[in-house]
Amino acid sequence: MSFFGRRQKRSPTPTGSLSRKNSMTDADGPNAKPLYLCSPFADAALVNGNFKTIVMLPKYVNDMEWVAVNIYDFYTNLNEFYGCITECCTQHSCPTMSAGPNLNYLWTTPERKQVSLSAPTYIDSVMSSVQNLIDDENVFPTKSGQEFHKESFPVTVKHVYRQFLRIFAHIYHAHFHQILHLRAEPHFNSLFAHFLAFGREWQLLDERDIRGDPSTPVGVGLLWERWRSSGKLES
């Protein structure tokens, strides 16, 4: 539960003017800190503590099975969160897959062409392609006796993980005020911190994925740094 919520009444539904405002910043102008980096929102969490213990391989569990189960859980949870704000993520509000002041992710087509898609189209494409992978017994085997593919499975999950990071980064950048209005920031932060901890433990995310290029930084790269310096995440 949000301790913030106990002191303050639930915020009203976003007004037209608020939803048109650049959600990256607060009311102080374009150079102000994004709300997700401000107290108390940046540190709101369901539980305090380090995530190391819940990302490590449990005894007697196959490592690929463990990664597969976690990918499935992150997929399900991220889908639920996106479902809550999907009405606000439209072709009109989010014509690009933005994730920082100068960063718009491009989608790579099967012909290896980089194209700009609106955020809802980009996110739908990621979610349906991941759903197809999860349903594919050759990629995510569920029957006993069937093995994970030793070479291709790690490559596939790393790709999926990077796409999930982009969805988190877009939601934080463009829709954090809607997460706040739902008073869901402790849940969303906890999910993202768990996601980052798991990604680092299993080498599914490179530092560069989280930070972005210096000229086009990922907004949540700073949140990652903040959580590392507070000890929430391993440095």
Annotated binding site for Zn(2+): 89, 94, 170, 175
Tell me the window of 27-35, 50-58, 115-123, 226-234 that interacts with Zn ion (CB under 5 A): 115-123
Toward Zn ion, which CB reaches closer, 95 or 217?
Answer: 95
Tokens of 178: 């809607």
φ and ψ of 71, to 5 deg:
-60, -45
119 binds Zn ion (CB under 5 A): yes
Tell me the window of 4-12, 19-27, 92-100, 204-212 that interacts with Zn ion (CB under 5 A): 92-100
174 binds Zn ion (CB under 5 A): yes
Q: Which 26-65 positions form the footprint of Zn ion (CB under 5 A)?
A: none
94 binds Zn ion (CB under 5 A): yes
DSSP assignments along 208-232, one per residue: HHHHEETTEE-TTHHHHHHHHHTTS
Residue 95 neighbours by CB under 8 Å, 6+ apart: 118, 119
Q: What is the DSSP letter of 136?
A: -
Tell me the window of 51-59, 118-126, 128-136, 137-145 that interacts with Zn ion (CB under 5 A): 118-126
d(CA 88, CA 235): 34
Determine the distance from the C-alpha atom of residue 138 to the mean position of all C-alpha atoms in its chain, rounded to a whole number: 26
Toward Zn ion, which CB reaches closer, 90 or 152?
Answer: 90
**Residues contributing to the site for Zn ion (CB under 5 A):** 89, 94, 119, 174
